Copies of this chain bind each other. A is one copy, B any other.
Amino acid sequence: MATGRTHRPATRSRGIPEATVARLPLYLRALTALSERSVPTVSSEELAAAAGVNSAKLRKDFSYLGSYGTRGVGYDVEYLVYQISRELGLTQDWPVVIVGIGNLGAALANYGGFASRGFRVAALIDADPAMAGKPVAGIPVQHTDELEAIIRDNGVSIGVIATPAGAAQQVCDRLVAAGVTSILNFAPTVLTVPDGVDVRKVDLSIELQILAFHEQRKAGEEAAADVTQAAGTTNSAVAAKREDSATDQGPDGDVPAVMPA
């Protein structure tokens, strides 16, 4: 039906649900793969399978973007790639800075996913003076002192924090003060930011712990009932646990530094 006259529920014109936004990159990736194979059109069923989601959900997701499909046929791959790219803002260039060039920061700088599709590493920043000037992934590392100037001169609005936990909030504050409004945080810390600033966190530790939970549950299903009160309900259990965890983490148990920096 194409555009027709503006005849849609005016109540929610452009409010794309957050859950949908989170899936758009997934669809885009699948579509890009199809595009490279020169597949002209794809049905919601096929694309959903490729993206690992329910087909009804996919259709509803796309319905928030508009009516880009053709009934009886499916979706035009190229067209959909473009529409989603535009919706996600990938048709423009996003300069990004990475702060904290340790093991992880360096790995991120080398990550191909950055360069492709709209994102460009504008600068690498580290607090260690010894790192200054040293090239990582072909880009010379700059000192933290330059942070504000870099953000300003390059019009950076997206920052990646890969510093140790202890430095993350401080770096975050400086980034925000300098004009960054979106932050991807790899440091194991809760960042506090003003309204209007988006923060997304990537936390290896948390992911592993969630997996451990499910893993334990699976194991417990075979071994049957036990768990719950086996350890008793007093602090003695805590004491015992602490003693035998000598090989644990030692005094610095807190935030395991993401990397030396």
Contact = CB atoms under 8 A, between A and B. Distances in A.
B158 A215 contact: yes
A150 interface: no
B243 A193 contact: yes
A26 B256 CA distance: 14
A91 interface: yes
Which has the most chain B C-beta neighbours within 10 Å: A28, A52, A96?
Answer: A52
Contacts of A148: none
Contact of A238 (B10, B79, B236, B237): B79
Contacts of A241: 82, 85, 91, 198-199
Contacts of A183: 211
Interface stretch (A100-108, A127-135, A139-147): A100-108
A50 to B, nearest CB: 7
Given A107-B259, A243-B193, A254 B32 contact: yes
A75 interface: no
Q: How many copies does the complex hold?
A: 2
Nearest to A53: B190
A232 interface: yes
Chain A residues touching B, range: 35 or more
A53 B18 CA distance: 19
A113 B188 contact: yes
Main secondary structure of the interface of A (DSSP, over half): helix
A93 to B, nearest CB: 10
Contact of A260 (B28, B65, B252): B65
Contact of A202 (B94, B204, B209, B214): B204
Interface of A: 3, 6, 10-15, 18, 21-22, 24-26, 28-30, 32-33, 36, 50-52, 65-66, 68, 76, 78-79, 81-83, 85-92, 94, 96, 102-104, 106-108, 110-119, 157-158, 181-184, 188, 190, 192-200, 202-219, 227-228, 231-233, 235-241, 243-261
29 contacts: A6-B232, A10-B235, A11-B235, A12-B235, A21-B214, A36-B251, A82-B237, A83-B260, A89-B216, A96-B208, A103-B110, A104-B107, A104-B111, A106-B107, A111-B204, A112-B256, A113-B205, A113-B208, A114-B204, A114-B256, A117-B249, A117-B253, A119-B208, A119-B212, A158-B212, A184-B204, A184-B207, A195-B252, A202-B202
